[in-house]
């Protein structure tokens, strides 16, 4: 078993306590889904409260040079998760005016360790990550800008892979409007592209 810092061990124990009702033997699937939704709601509320308490103290809040996706990356992975071993790349699809940051996470994850200790198999671990933990991440980053979308590639997630592949995406409506005008198109004919 790897060595964890006291802070990391506390985080693992908190996640074990949170998810223990989910793994109670003999629970019907409907009850597991209900418990999963309760956990998702609790985590989302915790992250929202954390953001409201810390938003004015975040180090990048006064840095106008950062774009919203870079802020979201910093908010979620550095400030909130305190993640280490995260690599990322920025991608821009000029044809759709979509900007992305693709993230590969390999560092400490208290949820991953808690799931292992609770005996949750890899498939169920990925299910919990998608159905319980994705929405709280989305809720946090959309505080910066509601256009930002957080997602994971659930075919490339630990423990099924050696890292978790995650993406922050945002459509840039101003750039898209300029592109449409430059192409001789009327931006008013494309209202759905601004969502």
Tens digits of per-residue pLDDT, 45-55?
Answer: 999 999 999 99
Rounded Cα distance, 55 and 141, in Å: 12
Top pLDDT among 195 and 144 is at 144
Residue ranges of domains in the chain? 6-194
Give the CATH fold of the 6-194 domain: Muramoyl-pentapeptide Carboxypeptidase; domain 2 (3.30.1380)
DSSP state of 74: I
| Residue 193: per-residue pLDDT | 43
Closest CA to 83 of 135, 11, 138: 11
Closest CA to 69 of 141, 138, 135: 141
Q: Where are the beta strands (DSSP E) in 5-140?
A: 86-93, 98-105
Alpha-carbon 185 to chain mean position? 35
Q: Is the pLDDT of residue 73 over 60?
A: yes
Cβ atoms 154, 133 nearer than 8 A: no
Tokens read off for 174: 């101003």
| Residue 1: per-residue pLDDT | 60
Lookup result for tokens 């003999």: 26
Could you read off the pLDDT of 141-157 as tens digits, one per residue?
A: 999 888 899 999 999 99
| Residue 15: per-residue pLDDT | 98
Strand partners, 149: 169
- 12-21 long-range contacts, CB within 8 A, separation 24+: 12/110, 12/113, 12/114, 12/117, 14/110, 15/110, 15/111, 15/113, 15/114, 16/114, 16/117, 16/118, 18/42, 18/43, 18/114, 19/114, 19/115, 19/118, 19/120, 19/128, 20/118
Could you read off the pLDDT of 12-32 as tens digits, one per residue?
A: 999 999 999 999 999 999 999
State the pTM of this model.
0.82
């Amino acid at each position: 078993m790897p060595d964890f810092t006291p802070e990391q061990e506390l985080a693992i124990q908190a996640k074990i306590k949170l998810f223990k009702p989910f793994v109670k033997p003999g629970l019907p699937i409907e009850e597991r889904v209900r418990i999963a939704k309760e956990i998702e709601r609790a985590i989302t509320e915790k992250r929202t409260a954390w953001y409201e308490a810390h938003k004015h103290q975040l180090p990048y809040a006064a840095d106008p040079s950062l774009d919203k996706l870079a802020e979201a990356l910093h908010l979620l992975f550095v400030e909130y998760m305190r993640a280490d071993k995260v690599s990322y790349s920025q991608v821009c699809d000029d044809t759709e005016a979509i900007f992305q940051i693709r993230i590969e996470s390999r560092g400490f994850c208290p949820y991953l360790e808690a799931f292992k200790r609770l005996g949750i198999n890899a498939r169920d671990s990925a299910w919990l990550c998608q159905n319980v933990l994705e929405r709280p991440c989305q809720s946090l980053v959309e505080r910066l800008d509601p256009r930002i979308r957080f997602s994971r590639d659930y075919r490339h997630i630990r423990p099924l892979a050696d890292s978790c592949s995650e993406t922050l995406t945002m459509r840039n409506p101003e750039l898209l409007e300029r592109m449409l005008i430059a192409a001789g198109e009327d931006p008013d004919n494309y209202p759905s592209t601004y969502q």
